[in-house]
Structure 1
Amino acid sequence: TFFCFTVKHSLKNLVTGSYGIPIIPDFVGVLLVDDIQTGYCDSSQKTFKIQHDWAEEILENDPQQKGYYNIKCFEDEPNKFRQLISSLKGGSEGFHILQRIDGCELDENTGEVAGVLQYGHNGEDFLKFDLKTLKWIAQKPEAESIQQKWNADVAKNNYYKSSLTGICPQWLKKYLDAGKSSLQRREHPSVSLLQKTPSSPVSCHATGFYPDRAVMFWRKDGQKVHEGVDPGEILSNNDETFQMSVDLNVSSPEDWSRYECVFQLSGGDEHIVTKLDKTVIRTNWEEKNGEIKTAD
């Protein structure tokens, strides 16, 4: 059994406005392409900074997009966030954090596009835009008055739909094409079998893979094993690749030849199959005169 990964790409803008927190700028905007920070702006600077050469070229050749981000970073959005925070805090002091995420997600397999536009306030859901009804949905009582006001602006809500499902995917495709070598990078791991002692579980360990979307599991006679299996988390390596392990408790030595470890990376049909073989297991113990001794 192999997994069919749904490969999705995304372009998202994360915007944060704050009040009463002196250690951070009162306005921050971040552009993410496939969750990789690609652009940045805040209230302490006057230009939208691009953080990768392949993205810089796109903005230089697309005045519409460059102008969009400059307006969003230094004109429209900061003022909108200040007004919203002012209305939320009323006459009270204390801190306030208002966040917004907007953008789109593209399914590489089906071509389907999903848009997202929502606000959070002090770490909780606040307002969400429904692309089917083109209506704002209040997720806290204090958002209801804003919901009514925004739902009355039909023209702007229609613009949000065309922006999230039309313009955003076009921009995303440009970034994916320009940054293909970075964004669509695929690296397969080296896979090893490890065991601490003869009675310990056998660990199938994969390291050096990219991206961090992968699955690894044990099979017995071609069927995925669920009992006696302990899957580990995907962890980061120092070289920007990843590692993971999955442990197996083997009941009897004569069954070993029936097991194999399978690794599969997102976005590819290739898979790495490693047969459970005592002769290739790496250990830190050795057997002498019938006794098990652990190496120092």
Structure 2
Amino acid sequence: MSASFSLALDAARAAAAAQHYPQGALYVVATPIGNLADISLRALHVLQLADAIACEDTRHTQALLRAYGIDQGRWLAVHQHNEAQGAQGVIERLRAGERVAYASDAGTPGVSDPGARLVGAVRDAGLPVVPVPGASSITAALSVAGVVQEGGAFVFAGFLPAKAGERDAALAALAQESRPVVLLEAPHRIESLARGLAVLGARAVTVGRELTKQFEEIATVECAGLAGWLAGNAKRVHGEFVLVLHAAPQAPAADEGLRVLKLLLQELPVKTAVKLAAEISGAGRNDLYQAALSLKSAATPPAA
């Protein structure tokens, strides 16, 4: 443990010890996604306070806690292969009045990481679950992607299916998505994902590689150019990836207005159709009116 983390433990006790930490509760603790300094003071305090620590990989979390100077001797392995069975062991400890902290290998548990089934089982047992928020690769990537969406809407798609057919179907659905989409990918599949995204052409994608780590790299490129960007440096295919697929560009108002106008003219008088098309699409009313006259004229058969 470095001197800086010794100070952090003191600060954690000073900042968080006065809060109430009920016994018999599961504490879901977010841990860094790469940079040890991203641990929160509250997380440090809870990890010291816990009677037992459940985690995705005991070796990984033990090494993490040793880096902070935290000595914990009671470990429970709860990962995707034993989550149902492991949850029962956690519940027994909670019923005995213990505080149990749960940490996945990196980031916030239960979000594309094990933990959701554990939390569900604890809640079904009528026992409390306390979030200890912190690092997340999803929000980290969104914060630097510059995607602006009304209401902050986005879609978290996580890891796409590994099977080619299912993966192609998922990519086809993304092509129709009007909101930003967050994807996760492993190094051995990133080139395959890049080839799949190429069909989206000029649509922008922000790539976050090794976020918060020493060799962090962030770039925004066109989907058609993602494979070339990866090939531009041999190191770029290594590490963990978070990608933000920017929202699909909206059709220009004039084009959208004309499309809506054509539909409305099939059922409504010209003036009403023009008024509604302008309100729906944002296109100029005068332009739509002239377009409506042209469409009506073209549809009128010549006099005999």
Query: Could you say whether these structures have the same fold, taking a TM-score greater than 0.5 normalized by the shorter chain as the test?
Result: no
| TM-score relative to the length of structure 1 | 0.26
Higher helix share: 2
Whichever structure has more strand as a proportion of its residues is 1
Q: TM-score, normalised by structure 2?
A: 0.25
